[in-house]
Each structure stands twice: as structure tokens, then as C-alpha cells.
Amino acid sequence: MIVSLAPAFSEPVFESQSAFRAVMKAMSRPGLVHDLRHDLSPPAPLSGGAAATILTLLDYETPVWLDAALADANDVSLWLRFHTGAPITHDPQQAAFALIADAANAPDFMGFALGAPDYPDRSTTLILQVESLSSGPSIALKGPGIDGVQMLSARPLPEDFVHRMTDNRALFPRGVDVLLLTDNAVAAVPRSTRIEGSA
């Protein structure tokens, strides 16, 4: 049986560098939305923005966990393994990255690797696919990389997202980092960010 896989970047060096810069800018300036340009058409329900991010960040040493929507799509697993070499884990505690297509129903963030006091970097980065980074409840962010207050709107998110991120911030320097991806944009809420509330 011959399986036809959707291609990865057509210009790997340029596009991976561009995606990497967008993600790093998002992490350094929490809540700001950055363009994520690519020419990808990955298998559904994997979005183009999430695909560009995992092609940039994942390799054979970075275990990835998939939510049910993605794990049930065999083409996604094949595409991911072929283009990144990343092992897929069923244990969220072992995941360097977690890829979540159904952001509204994302599992409890505390179920992922939260790092250790001596090795806080050994935690999971959550990649949440969202429909919009310009509409939805407005969340006020404060902390490193933010001048005063940064407002962020995104949908869909878990109903208790503010509570989850408040609990996550209390663990600092441990805790998860969160990337929010549309098809062509990225924003981040790192573990160092304080959420003041939503409106």
C-alpha cells in the first residue's frame, strides 16, 4: 500500500527560520500576535500554523503528545513522524510538546510535564490550535516582556483558561508554556506571565 503524504516546507531553510523567529518573538513578547507565514497544507485536523511550528521545533529527541482529534487521524501521525522524526508518546508526562486541536476541551494542564526544581526546562510546551487571535474573551497579561498590560483575545479556549494559567504561574519557574496558533499567526503565554483576568 502506497501512502501519499502532504509535503513539508517547499523552502525549508527560509520557512523554518521565519517560523522560528515568529515563535521566539511570541515567547519574548507574551500576548502579541505575530504573523506565521508558510505554504503548508497538512492533513486535517492539523492546522497550517501548528504544522509550521512543529516542523520548526520538533525532531527525533522531542516526544510529542497528540490530543484525541489528532491521534485519531492516522494521516497526521504519519505526516508528523515522516517530516520531523519526533516520537509520539501516549503519556503526557513524557511529552516535550503537546499538540492540541480541540483547544476548548484541552486536558488539564497540570497533567503534563511541569519540570523539576533543578530542571524547570523539562516541561511540556502546549501548542493549542485556535480559530482566532483577534476575537473572543479579552485576557489581561502582565510580566516579563510586557510593558504594563498586554491584552490578548483568542477563541476557543478552555472555559477555565485564566484559572489554569494562574495555577501554572504559581509553579514558576516550573510550569508549562502555551503557544496559541491560528493557520497563519502565533501568540504565546509563557509560564512567567501573570493573567489579571478576562472581560
Say yes or no to pLDDT of 143 above 50. Answer: yes
Query: What b-and-e string marks burial along 160-171, b requiring 16 or more CB atoms within 10 Å of the CB?
Result: ebbebbeebbee
What's the pTM value of the predicted model, to 2 decimals?
0.93
Residues 67-76: tens digit of each pLDDT: 999 999 999 9
Average pLDDT across the chain, whole number: 92
Q: Check: CB of residue 186 under 8 Å from CB of residue 128.
A: no
Q: Name the burial class of residue 1, with classes exposed (0-12), middle (13-18) and buried (19+) by CB atoms within 10 angstroms of its CB.
A: exposed
Of the pLDDT bands very low, low, confident and very high (cuts 50, 70, 90), residue 171 is very high
Domains of the chain: 12-198 (3.40.50.11310)
Residues 55-95: tens digit of each pLDDT: 999 999 999 999 999 999 999 999 999 999 999 999 999 99
Query: What b-and-e string marks burial along 33-59, b requiring 16 or more CB atoms within 10 Å of the CB?
Result: bbebebebebbeebbbbbbbbbbbbbe
Region 23-50 average pLDDT = 94
